[in-house]
Amino acid sequence: MSEELSRVSFTIPKKMLSELDEAMKDQEYSSRSEAVRDALREFISDYQWRKKLKGDQRGAVIILYDHDVRGLTDKLLDIQHEYRDLITTSQHLHETEHECLETVIVSGQGEKIRELVDGLMELILDLREQAREAKDWETADTLRDRLNELGISVEDRPEGTTWRVEHKVG
């Protein structure tokens, strides 16, 4: 038995449409509608999974950052101290002359872990916003591009900046 279908219309950037068409061809979809339905199923499934991420959880949060950014190290430490009940250990590595890699092992309630990650993202977005306000486009663009490389999409809207985890392959 098939579901009743509804017709909808939406607007997407031309580049995204080209990427959709290429992915459709590679995966032998018969129509854009079929491909978009599959993508929406995955989006909804992922959302529902993240929403249900409750109860006792364990994981790692990995942060790669430029220690030359004024105040960043102090803010990262403040956040770690604020969530000390979740953080079982952390390791700090000097990757390059300017970059540090912080690995934070967490254990606790899923909701609190999500809160920690959201706080770290807000810190990065605040730094990016400060760079934009100072018209330091290079820093703002670098932060956005680095997040994008990690699979995190940043979008500037009139009502503020939003972010989401993208599914990246390869």
pLDDT by residue (tens digit) across 44-96?
A: 887 877 777 788 989 999 888 888 877 888 888 999 999 999 999 999 999 99
CA atoms within 13 A on the CB side of 15: 0
The verdict on 153 and 82 lying in the same domain is yes
Statement: the pTM of the whole predicted model exceeds 0.85: no
Rounded Cα gap, residues 49 and 7, in angstroms: 27
The verdict on 109 and 30 lying in the same domain is no
Give 10's contacts (C-beta < 8 A, 6+ positions apart): none
The verdict on 60 and 126 lying in the same domain is yes
The answer as to whether 143 is a domain residue is yes
| Burial class, 4, CB count within 10 angstroms (exposed 0-12 / middle 13-18 / buried 19+) | exposed
Residue 33 pLDDT more than 80? yes
The answer as to whether 2 is a domain residue is no
Residue 168 pLDDT more than 60? no
Nearest to 32 by CA among 61, 59, 9: 9
The verdict on 60 and 92 lying in the same domain is yes
The answer as to whether 5 is a domain residue is no
Full residue range of the structural domain in which residue 107 is found? 56-165
Long-range contacts of 138-141 (CB under 8 A, 24+ apart): none
Q: How large is the average pLDDT for residues 125-132?
A: 88
Residue 113 pLDDT more than 70? yes
The answer as to whether 110 is a domain residue is yes
Annotate 46-66 with b (16+ C-beta within 10 A) or e (fewer): eeeeeeeeeeebeeebebebb
Q: Is residue 116 a contact partner of residue 83, using CB atoms and an 8 Å limit? A: yes
The answer as to whether 62 is a domain residue is yes
The domain that holds 103 is classified in CATH as: 3.30.70.1150
- Predicted confidence at residue 150, as pLDDT, reads 78
